[in-house]
Copies of this chain bind each other. A is one copy, B any other.
Amino acid sequence: MTGKEKSDKKKKVLVLGGGFGGVFAAKSLEKFGRGTVEVELINNNNYFVFQPLLAEVASSSINSSDAVVPLRQLLTRVQVRQARVMGIDFKKKSVIVMQGSRMTPVELKYDEVVLALGTGVDLERIPGMADHALTMKDLTDAHMLRTHVIGCLETADVTTERVVKEQLLTFIVVGAGFSGVETVAEMRQLIRRALPYYHNISVDEIRTYLIEYAPRILPTFPADLATYATQQLKKQGIEVLTGVGTKSATSTGVALTNGATLNASTVVATIGNGPHPLVEMLGLDLHWGRIVTDRFMRVQGHDHVWALGDAALIPLSDNPQEDPADYATQTAQFAVREGYQLAANIMAKLKGEKLKPFAYTSKGSLASLGMSKAVADVYGIKLSGLLAWLLWRGFYLSFLPGFAAKFRVGVNWLLNAIMPPNLVQLRMRPPATRYIHFWKGDRVFEPGMLIDGFYTVIHGAFRLTIDNPDTGEHFEKVFGPGEHFGERVLVKSELRTGLVEALEDGLLLFIAQKDFTRFARAFPFLDKYFTDYIEKTFGGPEKAFAPGSTNQRPGKAAEEKPELAKTR
């Protein structure tokens, strides 16, 4: 028998998703089934994210690369495929993925498939939240939050307008579960450590809010630990608002359910866990947004399909009630145990042996509060303060898969304790198009700002006013849905001369100047439309109140080729 023939006889198990559940299922499957089972794990990123450390990445306590482990190094004997899962054909027993830079489709056959897709974020219920809030789900999020916070400090340090500075120095975290509490604590710590380097910002100017709809923070923790945590956060200068929800968000802040509005440039949403979009589309039975399985983690109504981790709803008894306590909880601890048991069950099935139901009792919970403080509830014992914090670090270090990762994180924790904070702002390219929400009275732009792009009204009404102080000319126009403003970026690229205000709550689609200009110029039809429009609406590109013609000019350089003046 040749190697090829042998391998053809192996059963193929596909694991979709590279979080705790997927990784530990794949690892155990490979181990239990070596020689008889071929395991392949498919994930959109080539790395495993150690979620509990994301807040530390956001605060620069550790390097971005230390909170993640390359899947190939974690699963050296498993085939790892970096690809996007597009769908599953349960009848044909195949998964369709898109892979490569050209995104070509590939069909992968399986004998058994494991769904370990985790959860998604669903912020749609709060208008503006999805478009304006930062999230804390993956490495890119943590990295963006860090960059964003440092950017706010940079700008606040040189801003002379009081209102703008206040907004830049207000930081809001919505949701006070583990992730929210750890994020707000780490963010505050980053700011505190950074402030000595920002000479024009004093600590009294910083406002940090933690907002929770429930009556208290850390709802899954014992009440006395939550009280301790609240006190610690307050001691660090964090304002904890409980029993309050968020009603809407814009680029300038959030409106609360109690009628108040907080102006802030930074809003982090740790709420809104929803089903993974792919899970929603597979047509499986969902309950509370999770895939319904039996106690053996088999998906109801489908042979050869298994689910685990945060995506799955695994009953802990034969007759579960409408109570989350009757199901496996969505934590890393559970996912790891599920991965092990699921691998054992798949092997048992292939060998025709008896499957075992999943059973596990949580060993406890831990939440870091920054500043060498934490709260812990371990084997029923409650701890707080430094001891809990050391336990927190030790526990996660031991939990981090792979020796290299443990070592790197350990070293960086030590380095960070003795070194100044890393304030490098490695900026990422902003999206070319984005939706921007406005409240009535908000300003979209005002005279003197650099022209940044083109706006189309999705809903609401916006008024443009241009006043020429030299000639006394006045121009006014109201724009409704489908109408647009800012198209004069095609003609001149200088400063705004007009003021645009929202006459009611509204939504705009913004397109960055560079992308808009490239598109409009490449496309003669559109170019002509805008030329005609400018002629008709403003009386031509050279009209007195055309952008930049009456206001302060940014010098010769900017007039000619503004986009080139950017450092690459």
Contact = CB atoms under 8 A, between A and B. Distances in A.
Contact of A552 (B105, B155, B515): B105
A550 to B, nearest CB: 14
Given A73-B423, A424-B46, A282 B557 contact: yes
Interface size class of A (residues with CB under 8 A): 35 or more
A85 interface: yes
A199 B79 contact: yes
Nearest to A276: B567
Interface of A: 43-47, 60, 63-65, 68-70, 72-73, 76, 79, 81-89, 96, 98-107, 120-121, 135, 137-141, 143, 150-151, 154-155, 157-159, 164, 197-199, 265, 277-278, 281-283, 404, 407-408, 411, 415, 419-420, 422-429, 431-433, 445, 448-450, 452, 456, 458, 482, 484, 495, 509, 511-512, 514-515, 518-519, 522-526, 529, 552, 554-562, 564-568
B450 A105 contact: yes
B70 A422 contact: yes
A164 B84 contact: no
A224 B452 CA distance: 53
Given A60-B65, A82-B154, A281-B564, 13 more contacts: A45-B567, A46-B423, A64-B426, A70-B422, A98-B450, A100-B164, A104-B448, A105-B495, A105-B552, A281-B565, A407-B415, A429-B431, A432-B515
A84 B420 contact: no
Contact of A159 (B100, B423, B568): B100
Contacts of A141: 568
Nearest to A78: B199
A69 B427 CA distance: 15
Contacts of A519: 433, 456, 509, 511, 519
A77 to B, nearest CB: 9
A490 B109 CA distance: 31
Contacts of A567: 43-45, 84, 138
